[in-house]
Amino acid sequence: MEKTVNKNYVYQGRIIKVRNDDALAENGNPCKREIVEHRGGAAILAVEEKKFVYLVRQYRYAYEKELLEIPAGKIEENENPYDTAIRELEEELGLKADKIEPFGEVYPTPGYCNEIIRLYLAEKFVRTHTHFDDDEYLESFKLTLDEAIKMIMDGTIKDSKTIVALLKYKEMQKG
């Protein structure tokens, strides 16, 4: 197992911290490891009548294009992932759930980032209204689970947390 010798922070921002660590490789040789620290996030798959799912279309600056995703957001300071998922469900879809179920977790970029996205499932909810962040604009829509799976297979849906949640739910329906 590799061992951290020294954590060297080179950047600390609002969402991430970046380190350039001194480490020892498994064979004992010194090495450098570039690490992005992230507080983590939560994402929620909203399913209606076991056959309709809700997605959002959102511009992602890093990719310079819109992506199709399940609602998600970063875990705020002093917030737990469960509450983040509940908050994002209402903010992005205008849906309020009394109860949601843990649905796994995703490590989106394990080669250099410690972010963990906790997944949740909501199958019972009521309509309220959306509450977008000041710097956020997105469009939500409902489609069948089968349509969403086709969009994964044809490459329209590229977001890993969304792919994992949709395929996992589809697989759960089989058993």
- Res 30: pLDDT: 98
Q: Which residues of 125-155 are buried (b: 16+ CB within 10 A; e: fewer)?
A: beeeeeeeeeeeebebeeeebeebbebbeee
Orientation angle between helical segments 145-153 and 160-174, nearest 10 degrees: 130
Q: What is the pTM of this model?
A: 0.94
The answer to whether residue 119 scores a pLDDT higher than 80 is yes
Do the Cβ atoms of 54 and 93 come closer than 8 Å?
yes
Distance CA 157, CA 64 (A): 15
Closest CA to 156 of 48, 79, 66: 66
Mean pLDDT for 116-141 is: 89
pLDDT (mean) for 112-121:
98
Which pLDDT score, from 0 to 100, does residue 74 have? 97
- The answer on pLDDT for 175 being more than 80 is no
Residue 40 confidence class, pLDDT cut points 50, 70, 90: very high
Q: How does pLDDT run across 7-29, given as a tens digit for each residue? A: 999 999 999 999 999 999 999 99
Q: What is the mean pLDDT of residues 140-146?
A: 97
Has residue 85 got a pLDDT over 80?
yes
Tokens of 120: 């949740």
Which domains does the chain carry? 3-37 (no CATH), 39-174 (3.90.79.10)
Among the listed residues 174, 100, 92, the one whose alpha carbon sits nearest the alpha carbon of residue 137: 92
Mean pLDDT of 91-115: 96
For 116-138, what is the mean pLDDT? 89
Mean per-residue pLDDT of the chain? 96
